[in-house]
Structure 1
């Protein structure tokens, strides 16, 4: 039995499930609105929600995509008993998650969020080229138009109060000095690119495609600022074996067996930018006919 942990209306999950149906494989899909109670039958642990129930020893593989498993907590009138039982339930939940993550898996709920700064340090240790970067709370030493800045944590979407739209923090070139100090921010050398590369990594194997974003003013700094009227050209690309081997070393050091990695090709060098364990790969699969949804279903 396969367990898939995801969110509702997550299209990538749906595409993989189509292949599981075709392979006639049994699976359980867990959504973010489910709450599971940990139960026992004889000496076997099983989880039960209003929608699903399963024994832990029935599970053969787990794919963590998005969301997460939530557990029901019991509360007691006696404060001392409640403190003790709350701690007991915490350790029991941790034990259950440990059992699930010890199964054959793609990604883990426990390490789905990676620290970008630590990833860059480990990328260098793995032998990958990384643009020079530093942290600062001012722009005094920033080389204008030769330095970029981007969020330290994820790719946040900020809700706008004045407008009925959301704002996304993209990578941006620093083109002016700011007089006042600000919260510690990430700065990095701006690399002049030939093109960008998105690589999908799965259990030691890489699939890549080149993104020709540099000729469009809207996408030349950050290709995620998609130009839907004149889309970037995307083609299959083979990274050198030496780079793929270093990617493998990096992913092992991060305890990740699946994810999307971004690179910049500049001259003879491949500059590593970041890795996203829950990266989007349907575009890569579609444009390059890689059938990555089938690859994931086959692995599971």
Structure 2
């Protein structure tokens, strides 16, 4: 077996190799000569190599299938949780045993306990940026909490039919969970927000998130990292394809994006909502309505921000690297 590499990082990043921002952030940290280590949540396997509960000294073992690295946490200051959940090392179990529910339940509980303990330990000992694990956040709870912070939101319903909807209004349907992605060898499918074409249908369906369509002038994407805010206006109404969902992009006839300055009153509400949701970073989506109001749609704790930075003329990867270095918690 190869000799184990020993590291004593001051900064730890948890992110997947599929995160398009990870390499640039790591490059900037290296440029600033920061002592950091990245755990690739897509590939690396983690073990709690040694932990003394009396002294609270912890050492992790990271196996990337090529090398094994011992991570001594005695110098660690800040953990930036960007994307993905940790994979833990477990002994190989014969398939015949894995078919037994009791064995599957045991290993599920085993992994959950390790994961929950690491989350608890990190949050107790170090400065944390981001949400642990997959950073999943309940859209329905977010909408309820946003109302408490004074945000205007679309008229929203959870329904299994179209009964009692106003036939003179337009409605949209959007996912209430994570986006559904499916791939074949030649195509990729993703569910988008879409206008409901026939609300007179008597069809019954599983509980779905339905909202009254807002008449908008443009959309706004706001990226928040700790106390810094950057925003851009998205003129998705320029194209019919993107009018309901700006992700439906026409490369031959693209809509415009422009830097945007949001008012202080909106910033205050954003930080109130972040405090309520225990977030310190995230991407927020708004509609600016024909009535000159800001309408809150949702927040993504791990939303992409590179393009927004380009629109605003800022390298947000550099900004994030600098903020990670300077962050001292609350």
Structure-1-length-normalised TM-score: 0.90
Task: Answer whether contact 2:86 2:115 (CA < 8 A) is retained.
Answer: no
Partner of residue 27, structure 1: 36
Please tell me whether residue 230 in structure 1 is matched to residue 253 in structure 2.
yes
1:70 deviation in Å?
Answer: 1.9
1:132 deviation in Å?
Answer: 0.9
SS across alignment from 1:47:
strand
SS across alignment from 2:294:
strand
Q: Using the alignment, how far apart are the partners of 2:281 and 2:232 within structure 1?
A: 17
Q: Using the alignment, how far apart are the partners of 1:85 and 1:173 within structure 2?
A: 43
C-alpha distance 8-84 of structure 1, shift in aligned 2 (>3 A):
closer
Partner of residue 173, structure 1: 195
Q: Using the alignment, how far apart are the partners of 2:109 and 2:239 within structure 1?
A: 55
SS across alignment from 2:238:
coil
1:115 deviation in Å?
Answer: 0.4
1:100 deviation in Å?
Answer: 2.0
Q: How many residues align?
A: 297
1:74 deviation in Å?
Answer: 5.4
1:284 to 304, 308, 311: 308
1:239 to 262, 287, 306: 262
Please tell me whether residue 14 in structure 1 is matched to residue 23 in structure 2.
yes
Q: Using the alignment, how far apart are the partners of 1:14 and 1:156 within structure 2?
A: 26
Task: Answer whether contact 2:83 2:133 (CA < 8 A) is retained.
Answer: no
C-alpha distance 14-172 of structure 1, shift in aligned 2 (>3 A):
same
C-alpha distance 101-231 of structure 1, shift in aligned 2 (>3 A):
farther
Please tell me whether residue 48 in structure 1 is matched to residue 61 in structure 2.
yes
Partner of residue 64, structure 1: 81
Per-residue Cα deviation, 1:199-220 (whole angstroms, up to 9, x for no partner): 0011133211101111211111
Please tell me whether residue 97 in structure 1 is matched to residue 119 in structure 2.
yes
Please tell me whether residue 214 in structure 1 is matched to residue 237 in structure 2.
yes
Task: Answer whether contact 1:101 1:108 (CA < 8 A) is retained.
Answer: no
Task: Answer whether contact 2:48 2:58 (CA < 8 A) is retained.
Answer: yes
1:83 deviation in Å?
Answer: 9.2
Per-residue Cα deviation, 1:272-299 (whole angstroms, up to 9, x for no partner): 0000001010010011112211121012
Q: Which runs of 5+ in 2 are unaligned?
A: 1-9, 94-101, 325-330
C-alpha distance 38-140 of structure 1, shift in aligned 2 (>3 A):
same
Q: Using the alignment, how far apart are the partners of 2:153 and 2:257 within structure 1?
A: 23
Per-residue Cα deviation, 1:94-116 (whole angstroms, up to 9, x for no partner): 32322223421221224710000
1:127 deviation in Å?
Answer: 0.6
Q: Using the alignment, how far apart are the partners of 1:89 and 1:194 within structure 2?
A: 48
C-alpha distance 214-92 of structure 1, shift in aligned 2 (>3 A):
closer
Task: Answer whether contact 1:4 1:64 (CA < 8 A) is retained.
Answer: yes
Q: Using the alignment, how far apart are the partners of 1:232 and 1:298 within structure 2?
A: 32
Partner of residue 118, structure 1: 141
| Greater shift in the superposed pair: 33-42 or 183-192 | 33-42
C-alpha distance 124-149 of structure 1, shift in aligned 2 (>3 A):
same
* CA RMSD between the two structures: 2.7
Task: Answer whether contact 2:85 2:134 (CA < 8 A) is retained.
Answer: no
| Greater shift in the superposed pair: 163-172 or 201-210 | 163-172
C-alpha distance 182-89 of structure 1, shift in aligned 2 (>3 A):
closer
C-alpha distance 227-85 of structure 1, shift in aligned 2 (>3 A):
closer
Q: Using the alignment, how far apart are the partners of 1:84 and 1:230 within structure 2?
A: 54
